[in-house]
Amino acid sequence: MLSNIGIPGLVLILVLALVIFGPKKLPEIGRAAGETLREFRKSTKEYTDGITEPIDDAKKEAKKFSDDVK
């Protein structure tokens, strides 16, 4: 998605943000966006770990069982 924007589009977005929010608010907005993204990544990692962990445990148990049978 972002790869289609290009450098001129990114510069235009930054200039518009600077005009709309002003130079004092822009760092605060960037910091808040970074914290939100960090929290989102943390939450999705916890969610996927909660799903994949039982599957991995079951695979380990199945491997142990198949090794014992041999």
Query: pLDDT for 45-61, tens place per residue?
Result: 999 988 888 888 888 88
pLDDT (0 to 100) of residue 45: 93
Type and span of the H or E element at 69: helix 6-69
Render pLDDT for 24-48 as a digit per residue (tens, 0 to 9).
998 998 899 999 999 999 999 999 9
Q: Is 56 left (phi over 0), alpha (psi -120 to 50) or beta?
A: alpha
pLDDT (0 to 100) of residue 59: 86
**HSE-up of 38 (CA within 13 Å, CB side)?**
6
pLDDT (0 to 100) of residue 35: 96
pLDDT (0 to 100) of residue 66: 75
- Which H, E and C letters describe 1-63, residue by residue? CHHHCHHHHHHHHHHHHHHHHHHHHHHHHHHHHHHHHHHHHHHHHHHHHHHHHHHHHHHHHHH
pLDDT (0 to 100) of residue 12: 92
